[in-house]
Structure 1
Amino acid sequence: MNQHYYDTLFSAAREKGLTISAAADEAAMAFLDGKPMGQGKKRWSGRDRHTALWSSEFLKALPADVWSQEPLRLALTQYLAQDRVACPELVARVAAIAPDVLMWATRHSDLVMRQDSPRWLEISKLDADQHEALAELTRVFLIFREAHQVRLDEVARLRNPLRELAPLDLLIYASLFAFEHQIPNLLDGRSRPNLPDVQEAWDAIDDILAWKLASCDESDLQLSETSLASSLRQHLIPFLFPSADRPRHDCYQAFLTLLGAQVELNAFVHRSADAFSYDDSIRFERCGDHLEIVEVDADAIAAWRRDGKKFDLLHQYWLYRGMDALLNAPDLLARVSPANLEANLQALAKAMGTWLRLQEVYGMAEQVRTDTGSSAMVFHVLMTIELMTAFFIEDYLRPYQQSLSETGNSFLALGRLAFSGLLQPDLQNRFPLTWSDRTAKVERIKPWTATAKQPSGSSPAAETILDFMTCDWAAMAKQLRAGEMALRPRWQERPIFKMGRLSLQLPWMMAVQNNSAAVINNLRRLGSRRNETKEETRRIEERLGALFRKRGFQVLVGYEVAEDANAGEIDLICARDGHVLILELKSTYQRRSIKEAWAHRTSTLRKAGLQLSRKVPVVQRALGQDMELMNALGLKNGQPTVIAWIVDTSTEWDHQLFRGFLKISLEEVLIALRDERMLLNQPHGLFAGHADRAHPPDDYEKPYKDDTLYPDGFSAARLVEVIETAAVWEGSL
C-alpha cells in the first residue's frame, strides 16, 4: 500500500498550480470519500487511511486558516471519533495554531459520550494554562460525564429487579403500560403530565428489550404454548381477571420505574449530549456546576422545525394520492369486505399512497427480496400491514375505549376486551398482545394476497409477507451479544416478533404507528445493502425524468461527458425554454435524530455538493462545444441558463446550499411538477382525524382548478422560481 498517498495527492495539486488551501482540500476530500479503496487483497481499511493521512508530511506545515476549512475539520472529526490510530502530536499542533478547530472537531466527534477514548485523553492532557478554551471544554465534559454516569447507574440499578424476567414478560408489562397510559391519551387526544410521549416511551421500551435480549437465556426465546401459558398466568391474567393469583404489581411497578429512568437517560443522550455534539443552532454554557442552553441561530432552529412539519405534510399528501388511486382501482375496491368498510377503505388508501411513494420517490419494483431469499409483492406487504392496523383499531382499540369509558379502569376494560374474545365461537384473541404459530399466521394473511389469477390468495405469497415483517428475536439476541448494534431492526420496522415456534404482535403498537415510515426504513435503512438498491436508484432517475418529459423537457438520464471521466455520471439533465437543470439525486432513509441528520449533511449532502461543483463546469463546456448534446436537449444557439440542484429523498437541510448548490427534497420536485400544492393543505378535511367519509365529496376535482403554482401556464422559468422560493410549501408551514 502507498503510505504516501495523500502527500502525493497534495503535491500533484500544487504542481497543477493549486493553492496550499485547495491542495489540502483535495487530499482531505479524498480521505472523506473513502479513497483510496484499493483492490483485492490490497484493499485499504479505515485504519489504513487514518494512518496514511495523519502521517502525511503536508499536514505539518498547514497554517491555521487551512485547518479551518470544512474538509480538514471533518477529517479531524473522524480522527477523534476512532480509537485505533493515534497521533497525539497532531492534536497538539492543531491546539497550538487553531484551537477553535480542535474544539469544533471535539464537539462533533461525539467524544462527550466517549470520555474513556484515547483521543479524549490526548486533548485533556494538553496544558490548560496555554489553552483556556480547551480547559473550559474539559470542565463542560466533566459535567456531562457525571450527569451521564448518574443516569447510567440508575438504569443499571433499576434493571436488577427485572433480571429474572423473560423478554415475553417484559412485553406483557409494556402492553399493560401502553393500555393504561398511552392508548387513553391517544384516544381522547389529551396529553397527561409526567408521562413520556409515545415515541419516547417506545424508544425506551426498545432499549429495555435490547438489554433483555442481550442478557437472557436462549431458552427464553424458544416459546412454546406451555411456556407462553405459564408467563400469561403469572404476569397478565391476574391483572385482567379475578383469580387466586395476585397480580405482580411489584414487577409492573419495577418496569414502570425502569421505563422512566430509560426515558430520562435517552432524553439526556438525545436532547443534551447529541444536541451538544451536532446542533449548531445552540450553545451550552457552564454556570457553576450545571449547563444552560443558549440559542445562537434562531433561523436554523426554525428551519429544523419546518423540515419536521414537512414530514407530516408529505404523509398527508400521499394519503390523498392513495385515495385518488384507490378510487381508480375498481378490481381492488371490489375485494373490500363490507364489514368495517370505512376502516378498510382507509387502510387500502394508506397502502396505495405508500406504494406510490415507494415507486416515485424510492424507485421500488413490484417485488422485494426478504432476508430468507424469497420475493414479496410490496403492495401486498403494505396492504397486509395497513389491514392489520385497521383490524387492531376496530377490534381492539374501539371496544377498549368503550369499556374504558364505562369502567374508568384500564385493567377492567382490558379484561372485558379479552373476555369478549373468549366468548366468540372461534375464541378470538383479544389480549393486550397476540400470538400464533406460523401456519395460522399465514392463513390469516393469505386472503390479502388475492389476485385475479388466485382469488383465494396464495400461501407462498403470505409466507414471504410474513418473512418481510418478522424479526427473529433469537437471531437479534445473538447479534446484540456480539455487539453488532448498527443495523438492528427497530421494533416498529419489523413488528412481528418470532420467538421459537410462535410469533407475537402488539395490537397497541400496530394500531397507531406510522406504517409508511416503518416500511420505508425497513427497505432503505435495514436493506441499504440489498443488491436491488442500484436498480432502485436508476428507476428513481428514470421516473423523475419521465415526469419532466411530461412537462415538455428534453431529458438525459445518466449522461457522461466522454472528455472528462472525472466528472462521473450526471443523474439528470433536463432542458426547456433555454433553461438546463442539472440534478444530483440522493436516495436514503427517513432519519429520526439530529445526530443522523448531521451525519447525512456532512457525508451524503457534502459529497453531492462536491460532485456538482465538478459536473456543472463540465456540462457548461460541453453545451458550448457538443452540438450532439445541444440537439439531444433541444437547445438552439446561444448559452442556456444552467441551474443545478441536489435532489434528496429526505427533507433534512432543505433549501440550504452545499458548495453553492440548492438542496431540495425529491417530493417537493414531484409536487411542483404535478402542480399539487393543494394536497398539502388538508383539502376538504378528507383525512382529518379518522376520516368522516369513505368517499370524496362531489367537488373532489375542484382544488386542481382553484390552486395552481402556474397561473400563467407552466414554464421552466416558473418551475425554477417555484423551487427556489419554496412556493410548494406556501401556506402549509
Structure 2
Amino acid sequence: MIGAYYDTVFAAAQDQGLPVETAADHAASAFLDGKPARQGKRKWSGADRHAAFWASGFLRNLPARAWQQESLGLALARYLTQDRFACPDIVSHVATLAPEVLQQAARHAGLVLRQDSPRWREIEAQADREPEAFIDFVQIFRIFRHAHQVRVEEVERLRQPLAALTPLDLLVYASLHVFERLMPDLLKRRSVRDEPDAQAVWDAIEDMLAWKLATCEAASLLLNDPGIAASLRQHLTPFLFPSGEAPGPRHDLREAFAALLDAQIELNAFIAQSADAFSYDDGIRFVRQGERLEIVEVDATARAAWHRDRDKLIRLQQYWLYRGMEALMTSPALLALVSPAHPEANLQAFAKAMGTWLRLQEVYGVAEQVRTETGSSVDVFRALLATELMTAFYIEDFLRPYHHHLQQFGHPWLALGRLAFGGLLQPEQNRFPITWSDRAAKIARITPWTVTPDHPQGQARAAEAILDFWTSDWNALAERLREGDVAPRPRWQERPVLKMGRHLFQLPWMMAVQNNATAAVNNLRRLGAARGEARDETRRIETQLGALFEQRGFRVLVGHELPAAVCDDANAGEIDLLCALEGHLLILELKSTYQRRSVKDAWMHRTSTLRKAGWQLHRKVPAVRQALRHDAALRQALALPPEAAPEITAWIVDTSIEWDHQSFRGFLKVSLEEVQIALRDDRRWLNDPEGLFRATSVRDTAARPDTGSEPTDTLYPDGFSARQFVAIVESAEIWTDTA
C-alpha cells in the first residue's frame, strides 16, 4: 500500500526504542530526502510521495512538540509549496495543535508571493477557525500582497513605452544609462561593486532584458548587419554624433528606460528585502502596525553571521589571486605569453585566470578540459584567461580613454562619441558602448590568446571552444522564456558573450567590472550541474582533499563503503573521507555546489543539502564507531591501535560559504577552502599582506603582490598536530586578521 511506507519507517524507529518525536523525524526526513524513489518497478513522483506521507496515520497522533521539529515543519512547507496535491485536513489539524508551526511553514513556502495558490486559501480559512492565532498573520500577508501588486503594476505600466523596442535597442539604452549614471562614479576611483546600489542595477537590467526576450518577435533576434546598423542609427548614434540633419536623440526612450529601471529596482528590492526576508530570514520578523509593517530583529547573531560569510567570500577571492600570482611567477612559459601592450593589466589578467583555475581544480575538482553545451572540449585555463584578457582590454581600451574624454568634455555623450569616433579612425576597432562581430571574426580575435609552446600561433578550434563556453544564445533563451521553462538560465555575467542571429555582442561596461571568477564557478556548477563530468569532479574533490591530509601525515580512506557485516545500519552509505592521525579520526561529508547571492537560495541550501548532510552524518558516525569495534582491517588501514577508541570529529565540508560554522544535527559545517587553508598553513594570503586590495578602484591594475616574501604567519608555531588542526578549524582561527 502506497501510504504505508512512512508509517513503516515510523514504526521501525519506535521498535528501536526511539521516542515518538524521533520516530516522526525519521519518517519526515525520508520524505524530505525523496524516499522512496520507487515502489517495485514504478517510479514515485513528488505527488505520490505527498499522497503517501500526508496519508500516514502517525501524523494525526503526534504531540505538538513533535511538529515543532525542523523536519516536520519543512515537510509541511514542502506541501504548501506545491499546488498539485491537496490535503486541507492536515492544515486544519496543525493549525489547532501548533499554529506557530503552520505559520512558519507558510512563510518558508514563499506563499507571501503566491497568494493565488490553493494552499494559501487553506491558510486563510484558518482565520475563521482559529481567529486569535491567524487573523493578524493573514492581515500581514494581505499587506504584502497589496504592496507587491502596486509595484508589479507600476513595472507593467512603465514597460509600455519600451514595448516596441528590440532586445538590441534595449541594450543600447542600458549602455547609455550605465555610462551616464554609474561609470562616472567608477572612474572617480570608486568601485562599482562597492556601490550599494550597483548590483541592484545590474540585476534590474537583466530582468528587463528577460522581459524583452520573452515578449519580442523571434525575428528581432535574427540580426544581420543592416539590422544592427538601423538600430544603432536610430537609438545610439544620435546621442554620440548629434546632427541637425538627422533625427535627434530619443530622450523620451532614454527617460522611459530610466523610469522602468527605477521601478524594476524597487520591485526587486521589495521581493529581496521584504518578501524573501519575511519568508526565509529567521533572524527577523515583521510586526503589523495598522496598515504598515515594521521589521524587528529577533536574532542578531544569525544576521551578523550572514554578513561575516559575505566578508569571508571577498577574502577568499583575494586569497586565490595571491595564489595565482605565486603560480604565475614560477611559470616562465606563461610569463613569456604576457603581451607587452598594457603589461601590468595583462599580467594581472594572467594572475586572476591562474588563481581561478587553481580554485576550480582544488575546490571544485574541475579537469583541464570540460565539455561545452555544444559538445566541444574547452581548455578551462585558456577559457578563464580569455575572459580576463577581455576584461583587461575593455578597461584599458574603453574605460580609461572614456575617462579621459569625460574629464575633457564634461558630458557622457560627448565622451562616448569621442571614444567611438577614435575607434572608427582605426581599422576594425569598434569603440561603441556595445561591440559586435560575427563568429568567425570573434574566433580570429581570441585565437592569439590560445598560444602555447606547441602552438605558437594559437588554435582556432580552441578559440571556438572558448567562445562556446562563454556564449549565451539569446535565440534559444528567448524560446525558453516564452515557454515558461523554469530550469536555471544563464545570468548575463555568467555567459557574457550574447548571441543574436549570427552575431555575437559584448558589453564593455559590464565586462570591465564583472567578477569573472564567480562567473566561471557558476557557469560550471550552477548552469552545468547536470554535466556528465560533475560526478567525476565530486570524486576528484574527495581524492585531492584526501591527498592534502596525507601530506600532513594522516592515514586516509576515500569513498569507503562499510561492509554490512560490521555495522547494523546497512543504509549508512559511503563515507566520503576518513582521516586518522594521533588517535584522532575525522569523518567528513563533502558537498559541492555553487556560489549563491540571495537569502532565499541560501535558505534552500541550508534546508536541503546541508540538512541532508547532517542527517547522513547522524547515521554514518554511529556506523563507523561500530565498524571500528568489529573490523580489524579498517582499524589497520587507518593505523588506529586496537586497544583504544579514537577521538572522533565529524564535519560537513562544503564548497559554498553559506551557513559557515553552523551546526546541523550537531555536526559543524565548514567550508572546504577553510580546511584546505588550515592544512596548507597559508592563511597569510587571506589578509592581503601586500595591500593589493587596499586600492579602491577596479581601474587601478598596477598594484600586485610581492609573492617572494617569506611567510610570517603560521597556525602551528609548535608544529602541526591533529588536535591543533581540529581546534583551529572549529574555532575559525584562519579568519583572524593578523595583518
TM (norm. structure 2) is 0.96
2:137 matched to which residue of 1?
Answer: 137
C-alpha contact 1:284 1:294 (8 A) present in aligned 2 = yes
Unaligned runs of 5+ in 1: none
2:326 is aligned, of 319, 324, 327, to 324
Matched position secondary structure for 2:403: helix
C-alpha contact 1:680 1:732 (8 A) present in aligned 2 = no
Q: Deviations over 1:28-73 (max 9, x none)?
A: 1111000111179611111111111112222121111111111111
Q: Deviations over 1:664-722 (max 9, x none)?
A: 0001011111111110111111344356756644x8322x1x21111111111110111
1:350 matched to which residue of 2?
Answer: 352
Structure 1 residues 206 and 732: CA distance shift in structure 2, 3 A = farther
Q: Deviations over 1:223-264 (max 9, x none)?
A: 000000000000000000122220000111000000000000
Q: Deviations over 1:250-280 (max 9, x none)?
A: 1110000000000000000000000000001
Matched position secondary structure for 1:527: coil
**Equivalent residues in 2 for 1:304-453, closer than 5 Å:** 304-424=306-426, 426-453=427-454
Q: Deviations over 1:596-643 (max 9, x none)?
A: 000000010011111111111111222233221122112223121110
1:268 matched to which residue of 2?
Answer: 270
C-alpha contact 2:496 2:506 (8 A) present in aligned 1 = yes
Q: 1: distance between equivalents of 2:428 and 2:85?
A: 62
Q: Does 1:544 align with 2:552?
A: no
Q: Deviations over 1:466-507 (max 9, x none)?
A: 111101101001100111133111110100110001010000
More off after superposition, 264-273 vs 405-414: 405-414
**Equivalent residues in 2 for 1:408-557, closer than 5 Å:** 408-424=410-426, 426-557=427-558
Q: Deviations over 1:528-587 (max 9, x none)?
A: 111111100000000011111111111110011102431110001111111111110000
2:120 matched to which residue of 1?
Answer: 120
Q: 1: distance between equivalents of 2:634 and 2:131?
A: 58
CA shift for structure 1 position 144: 0.2
Q: Deviations over 1:111-163 (max 9, x none)?
A: 00000000010110124363322111100001000000000000000000000
2:645 is aligned, of 639, 651, 655, to 639
Identity %: 63
2:708 matched to which residue of 1?
Answer: 700
More off after superposition, 50-59 vs 3-12: 3-12
CA shift for structure 1 position 11: 2.5
Unaligned runs of 5+ in 2: none
AA aligned to 2:345 is: A
CA shift for structure 1 position 182: 1.2
Q: 2: distance between equivalents of 1:692 and 1:477?
A: 37
Matched position secondary structure for 2:364: coil
CA shift for structure 1 position 189: 3.8
C-alpha contact 1:579 1:643 (8 A) present in aligned 2 = yes
1:654 is aligned, of 648, 660, 665, to 660
**Equivalent residues in 2 for 1:590-609, closer than 5 Å:** 590-609=595-614
2:672 matched to which residue of 1?
Answer: 666
Matched position secondary structure for 1:463: helix
C-alpha contact 1:686 1:693 (8 A) present in aligned 2 = no
Q: 1: distance between equivalents of 2:277 and 2:236?
A: 39
C-alpha contact 1:686 1:692 (8 A) present in aligned 2 = no
Q: Does 1:21 align with 2:29?
A: no
Structure 1 residues 453 and 40: CA distance shift in structure 2, 3 A = farther
Matched position secondary structure for 1:229: helix
Q: 1: distance between equivalents of 2:557 and 2:309?
A: 30
1:578 matched to which residue of 2?
Answer: 583
Q: Deviations over 1:316-364 (max 9, x none)?
A: 0000000000001111111111111000000000000000000000000
More off after superposition, 404-413 vs 635-644: 635-644
Q: 2: distance between equivalents of 1:59 and 1:732?
A: 53
AA aligned to 1:75 is: A
Q: Alignment RMSD, CA only?
A: 1.6
C-alpha contact 1:196 1:263 (8 A) present in aligned 2 = no
* Residues matched between the structures, number: 727
Q: 1: distance between equivalents of 2:30 and 2:453?
A: 54
2:632 matched to which residue of 1?
Answer: 627
Matched position secondary structure for 2:187: helix
CA shift for structure 1 position 514: 0.3
2:210 matched to which residue of 1?
Answer: 210
TM (norm. structure 1) is 0.97
Q: Does 1:681 align with 2:695?
A: no
Q: Does 1:711 align with 2:717?
A: yes
Q: 1: distance between equivalents of 2:122 and 2:701?
A: 63
CA shift for structure 1 position 2: 2.6
Q: 2: distance between equivalents of 1:618 and 1:450?
A: 53
Q: 2: distance between equivalents of 1:695 and 1:353?
A: 13
AA aligned to 1:277 is: S
Matched position secondary structure for 2:247: coil
Q: 1: distance between equivalents of 2:252 and 2:374?
A: 41
Q: 1: distance between equivalents of 2:329 and 2:78?
A: 52
1:249 matched to which residue of 2?
Answer: 251
Matched position secondary structure for 2:663: strand
C-alpha contact 2:651 2:669 (8 A) present in aligned 1 = yes
Matched position secondary structure for 1:591: coil
Q: 2: distance between equivalents of 1:8 and 1:552?
A: 45
More off after superposition, 381-390 vs 47-56: 47-56
Q: 1: distance between equivalents of 2:272 and 2:704?
A: 42
C-alpha contact 2:31 2:49 (8 A) present in aligned 1 = yes
Q: 2: distance between equivalents of 1:222 and 1:57?
A: 58
C-alpha contact 2:242 2:249 (8 A) present in aligned 1 = no
CA shift for structure 1 position 184: 1.5
Q: Deviations over 1:395-449 (max 9, x none)?
A: 000001111111110111000100111111x141000010000000000111111
CA shift for structure 1 position 12: 2.7
Structure 1 residues 691 and 399: CA distance shift in structure 2, 3 A = closer
Q: 2: distance between equivalents of 1:581 and 1:318?
A: 26
Q: 2: distance between equivalents of 1:313 and 1:191?
A: 16
Q: 2: distance between equivalents of 1:414 and 1:393?
A: 14
1:47 matched to which residue of 2?
Answer: 47
Matched position secondary structure for 2:690: helix
Structure 1 residues 651 and 732: CA distance shift in structure 2, 3 A = farther
C-alpha contact 1:585 1:648 (8 A) present in aligned 2 = yes
Q: 1: distance between equivalents of 2:700 and 2:542?
A: 35
Matched position secondary structure for 1:498: strand
Matched position secondary structure for 2:104: helix
Q: 2: distance between equivalents of 1:558 and 1:27?
A: 27
C-alpha contact 1:345 1:694 (8 A) present in aligned 2 = no
Matched position secondary structure for 1:711: coil
C-alpha contact 1:148 1:268 (8 A) present in aligned 2 = yes
AA aligned to 1:552 is: G
Q: 1: distance between equivalents of 2:438 and 2:455?
A: 24
Structure 1 residues 127 and 39: CA distance shift in structure 2, 3 A = closer
